[in-house]
Chain A
């Protein structure tokens, strides 16, 4: 099937198998490997991207379902080499270690602040429930998201 979508500002179209998941489209068709695959049950959130501005787990939808959509991945978050404030906050607060969950975590956090610009610590914890990290214990991730929102932690 033919799909067309805009990914990180670039529009393209490809022939894909109907069963191709969006995450494989991004990684294997477009070569955008910043988005990771961490599980097969929609549990870990490593594959989180923004679809028309909202976070989705790209392992849980087919590429064809994203036909016509505007997608943003971790590769498209920085502007002209300047990190997005959320990326910067993760850096400054040591919100990442091995980095495998980071792309999904950052995208989910960006989406969270879009919906809730001034979250409490509890809001951040609840809001990131769908993204797993095995390294940080989330302490510094929560701190980073609160810092990016300007909320004192």
Chain B
């Protein structure tokens, strides 16, 4: 009986359901002072002066600081760890702006008070004299340098990054039977993890140490970065991510408030805490997406792709956050999707704007790439005059297992069977039946148009091979670490460097390690998210945790079994090769009565009474896994919509997803990730947008304006799966955290365009709100007249 592959219920649930789990704002920290930030109401403004005296006079106020007051408090600016080009422009970014505010929400002063409400009340009394400057909202306008945001840089362009240009590309396009040329806009999105961010820094002034509690996905990275930013030894810093309420990339960062609370705790020698308010977070937490995408396809008469050319403009916002410059690069290798083309060209220029900084948001670069190619393939299908499923079949990369396939962008994909996934999805959704219904409805002249949208995707995740990250100038490796300690009683502690915040690592890692040790998952306790308990790790993002961290856990368990085998052989007086290990018991081959359970070995290793000469006591081992390659999950999503021509309302009637993430450790958890992933991608298609006015004001800064969908807006999802194990790790697994989001957005928009194509609609901007869809229909009808 193995636990891997079972739908084991989550051990994480009980404390959450009982209301016991403690998120940062739930922690009772005696004597903690509260910080409220004074934030710029202007998108772009020079700070002439700040009068803190009225705020200082308010009840409970301990201190008020401006950027100038804290100039000596930091060893360096907030970090950007991904300098994608040697000449990338990166303006200094400090927790409090010093001379200029560069977006609405840029913090300019910090009020510290005894209570939260006293800090909030006093923040309203800080008087800031601004000289308002023009906002820069449009990406092409930003590139024109009409208004330069960071004076010292002299330009708004941060970098241009490109893959080597193939020769003769223009000729391929000139000679192509079909050319598709499209521009897509990836609107800005607000991640809106349900738990707002929060941080509390507890100093030990006498000991010179700091304990940082933060709502973060990356306690290990945060520790290193705080050491550098604050000029404090890593050994003096402990970072704890307690229960964390979702991240989706938004908590993969090193934020102004984290460094600020650290600086204030050091200065005031007291615990200092800050909890984000939701509407504040709309400005102060990174946003996602924000790209202009120009994509061109060249194809022959039959629609077979010859070349793909992509030009991006990436919106970095006002400053470069931790990994922001690299986000477009994570998509750069995937604009050909699941199709082959001999010639492939990609270039991205990223610019500063006077808006909230962007960075990784679920999928990070890959949803954008998938959207562009999947939309463009539908356009190509219409040009060629074939069904969207058929155009895909004509272009699929054939089924393969590494090292059979090298992608147009030069990646060695691990394994794939793209057409197999399409077949299964079309079957599940009854594609032929739907097309028949659609044609009947069109024949009847119904104003409720049926649309069927396909999205067949591949993505690269499991970040990442360290050498590849080095080649891409990323400031870190991509390995993950684990330690398995078998205790004297035979119970196990697994220490993982991953940092779960909803992904059920405790349950799933216990399934992996339990199986390898031949013990029950319940006997494996999983420890994580505290740098003092789990000293080595690179945390959770980029669908890496299972493929890299889960593999590390498996390898550490294998090392424990290897050491146990040595001890067991000694104690059973047999050669190691003569031992079988099954169900947690070592047995001498041919002598079924000579057995030793691994728990007994653990006790023997603890007492050390009878170990082979030279063998260290205790039964524990660590492993660090640096993956040899990314993993490449794939699948097919089909969305069926009804679009009301009269109102523009889009109703999602059916959603089928067939995903392939290789072997599944816990299918229940996999499905949960897919459900949530689909929903976030669908929300980009239909509901969500960080909309700015021309003055740079965020018009959707509250959850009343920013439309995170509720249960009422969504259908049930019908899931299927195929299984093509990855040959790059011992578990045969691929990532699944982001796949749903990567796949779903183009499936929804393709469905809407498919529904409205007879009216002449070829594109609809996101989010496809009823008003926007209705307007698009009117425009198309006008043009048709």
Contact at B704–A41, with CB atoms within 8 Å? yes
B334 vs chain A, min Cβ distance (A): 24
Contact at B675–A35, with CB atoms within 8 Å? no
CA distance A34 to B16 in the complex (A): 8
Contact at B503–A74, with CB atoms within 8 Å? no
Contact at B678–A137, with CB atoms within 8 Å? yes
Complex interface: chain B residues within 8 A of A139 (CB): 675, 714, 716-717
B708 vs chain A, min Cβ distance (A): 5
Given A91-B14, A125-B711, is A43 in contact with B676 using a C-beta cutoff of 8 Å? no
Cβ-based interface call for B712 (8 A): yes
Contact at B504–A43, with CB atoms within 8 Å? no
Complex interface: chain B residues within 8 A of A94 (CB): 9-10, 668-669, 671-672
Cβ-based interface call for B18 (8 A): yes
Contact at B710–A34, with CB atoms within 8 Å? no
Provide the main secondary structure of the chain A interface. Answer: loop
Q: Which of B248-282 contact A (CB under 8 A)?
A: 248, 277-279
CA distance A71 to B479 in the complex (A): 49
B738 vs chain A, min Cβ distance (A): 13
Complex interface: chain A residues within 8 A of B676 (CB): 97, 134-137
B20 vs chain A, min Cβ distance (A): 7
Complex interface: chain B residues within 8 A of A31 (CB): 28
Given A98-B193, A137-B676, is A132 in contact with B18 using a C-beta cutoff of 8 Å? no
Contact at A92–B9, with CB atoms within 8 Å? yes
B561 vs chain A, min Cβ distance (A): 31
User: What 1/0 flags go to B638-673 for Cβ under 8 Å of A?
Assistant: 000000000000000000000000000000110110
Given A98-B245, A138-B679, A142-B711, is A38 in contact with B13 using a C-beta cutoff of 8 Å? no
Complex interface: chain B residues within 8 A of A58 (CB): none
User: What 1/0 flags go to B22-64 for Cβ under 8 Å of A?
Assistant: 1101101000000000000000000000000000000000000
Given A33-B26, A97-B502, is A128 in contact with B675 using a C-beta cutoff of 8 Å? no
CA distance A87 to B714 in the complex (A): 23
Cβ-based interface call for B702 (8 A): yes
Contact at A124–B12, with CB atoms within 8 Å? no
Contact at B703–A43, with CB atoms within 8 Å? yes
CA distance A135 to B14 in the complex (A): 18
Given A78-B18, A102-B17, is A136 in contact with B675 using a C-beta cutoff of 8 Å? yes
Cβ-based interface call for A50 (8 A): no
CA distance A116 to B207 in the complex (A): 58
CA distance A5 to B501 in the complex (A): 34
Contact at B17–A121, with CB atoms within 8 Å? no
Cβ-based interface call for A75 (8 A): yes
Given A91-B10, A94-B668, A98-B244, is A41 in contact with B19 using a C-beta cutoff of 8 Å? no
Contact at B716–A99, with CB atoms within 8 Å? no
Complex interface: chain A residues within 8 A of B712 (CB): 125-126, 128-129
Q: Which of B221-247 contact A (CB under 8 A)?
A: 243-246
CA distance A140 to B28 in the complex (A): 32
In the complex, residue of chain B having the shortest beta-carbon distance to the beta carbon of A130: B710
CA distance A83 to B675 in the complex (A): 25
CA distance A27 to B359 in the complex (A): 32
Cβ-based interface call for A15 (8 A): no
User: What 1/0 flags go to B579-611 for Cβ under 8 Å of A?
Assistant: 000000000000000000000000000000000
CA distance A142 to B675 in the complex (A): 12
Complex interface: chain A residues within 8 A of B10 (CB): 91, 94, 96
Q: List 8 A-B contacts (CB under 8 A).
A: A32-B19, A37-B25, A96-B13, A99-B21, A102-B16, A125-B714, A131-B711, A133-B711
Since A33-B23, A40-B702, A121-B716 are in contact, a sample of 20 more A-B pairs with Cβ atoms closer than 8 Å, ordered by chain A residue number, is: A32-B19, A33-B26, A36-B195, A39-B279, A39-B703, A42-B704, A43-B702, A43-B704, A73-B19, A90-B13, A97-B246, A98-B195, A100-B194, A100-B195, A125-B711, A128-B711, A132-B708, A132-B710, A136-B675, A140-B671
Q: Which residues of A contact B (CB under 8 A)?
A: 17, 19, 27, 31-44, 46, 73-75, 78, 83, 87, 90-92, 94, 96-103, 106, 121, 124-126, 128-142
Q: Which residues of B contact A (CB under 8 A)?
A: 9-10, 12-14, 16-23, 25-26, 28, 117, 192-196, 243-246, 248, 277-279, 501-504, 668-669, 671-672, 675-680, 702-704, 708, 710-712, 714, 716-717
Closest 8 CB pairs of A and B: A34-B19, A100-B245, A98-B502, A99-B16, A137-B679, A43-B703, A137-B675, A33-B26
